[in-house]
Amino acid sequence: MGYFQVFLLLALIPGSTGLDNGLLRTPPMGWMAWERFRCDIDCRKDPTNCISEKLFRDMADRLSEDGWRELGYEYVMIDDCWMSMQRGSDGRLQPDPDRFPGGIANLARYIHDRGLKLGIYADMGSATCMGFPGTTLDKVELDAQTFASWGVDYLKFDGCHSNAIEQSIGYPLMSKALNWTGRPIAYSCSLPAYLGGLPPNVNYSYLGNICNLWRNYDDIEDSWASVKSILDWYSTNQDDLQPAAGPGHWNDPDMLIIGNFGLSLDQAQAQMALWAIMAAPLVMSNDLRTLSADARAILQNRVAIGINQDPRGIQGRRLLQELGHIEVYWRPLSHSANALVFLSLRQDMPYLYRNSLANLNFPAGSFEAYDVFSGKTLSGLTDHTIFTVSINPSGVVMCSAVGEANLPLRGSVDLKITHKKYSACSY
């Protein structure tokens, strides 16, 4: 298909103003295969962990039976390597018949029967990142229709093996094609990551009209160094990135790796806290079948989830970088509440960090605070109270600010208090 034909098609597809699906008013939550299971397609040698129908059924069972679904973890997401190496005779993408013998539509029904939703992966280009069939411009509409016919609820659209012109046409074209199917399908775009992630190469106002969320930066790896790199990039560029986020359109710093092999317990709490502050998708990539009790407690922390899912949808910011290698992050919440995270980038020993709410630009008044991970509540703070928090190396103290109204938490935690002013945490 020539570019003139593509532009003509863009003009003719209904919903020509772009994305109009009303989805993801809060950041999506769920589970995705990629970081933990990669492109393991050898089901003969590794039947438990290979990218297959069985793996996604197993994870759907765990989400529905182990308390995840009730907390908001609702998407089961397939990433790369699910396809056959060739399209079918009708030109459609097709799953590998040995690894997905029941087909994607049957898998979608299995997932839907458990009160969950199915996400799938495709690539705007000649091939996916791992070499499976890509979605060229002439196949965008067909692939959108195929996903809708299967009962897919979420599309991650990557961009390997495509150029800037194809991307500039293909991403909005897929947005319109998904709308045209009539099925609500959340749309995750990888376009910013291929354009450097920042203005002027990325127009986030425009992107918010065609995508529900987008990858901006490098893929996460199973290490604290990777988490820190992503966090620092987002914080350094927060003036450009923060305004782009909001209900229905989110920055995506990539998956939660909590429960894998690269993070300590403190570092796992740090990723959960900071992803909540950043209004990031809470999409786990781990093995829910073997998850430790400690990892489960972090990922199922109702207050952290409530902060992440706050309906105002304002992405938080880094307020301070202290000389003692302590960073302070803040996010405003509904009902005039706030959340703070104190992060230690030290490697030596627990650090006693002292400050006051006045120094963090809080207004004059009385405050009450709730420690998200310890469960402690502290009353009687004023804006000039000097508080001290003890932060473990590469760990956090995360505090939820609560006011007269209950903090709106997904899964409902009752935190009624009496003060009219709001704060974060203290000891």
Instruction: Give me the active site residues, please.
Output: 158, 219
Closest by CA position to 79, among listed 154, 171, 170: 154
Closest by CA position to 307, among listed 356, 263, 370, 258: 370
Distance of CA 331 to the CA centre of its chain: 17
Q: How far is CA 24 from CA 27, 78, 94, 135, in A?
A: 6, 18, 27, 24
Distance between CA atoms of residues 148 and 122, nearest Å: 13
- Environment class of residue 88 by beta-carbon count within 10 Å: exposed (0-12), middle (13-18) or buried (19+)? exposed
**Whether the Cβ atoms of residue 210 and residue 204 lie closer than 8 Å to each other:** no
How many Cα atoms are found within 13 Å in the side-chain-facing hemisphere of 356? 12
Complete DSSP assignment for 283-320: EE-S-TTS--HHHHHHHT-HHHHHHHT-TT----EEEE
Distance between CA atoms of residues 79 and 35, nearest Å: 9
Residue 270: count of CB within 10 angstroms of its CB: 29
- Would you give the DSSP letter of residue 358? G
Q: Which two tokens stand for residue 331?
A: 């996010």
Q: Which amino acid is at 368?
A: E
Distance between CA atoms of residues 400 and 371, nearest Å: 6
**Whether the Cβ atoms of residue 107 and residue 53 lie closer than 8 Å to each other:** yes
Q: How far is CA 377 from CA 271, 360, 362, 427, in A?
A: 22, 20, 19, 9
**Whether the Cβ atoms of residue 72 and residue 63 lie closer than 8 Å to each other:** no
Complete DSSP assignment for 256-270: B-TTSSS--HHHHHH
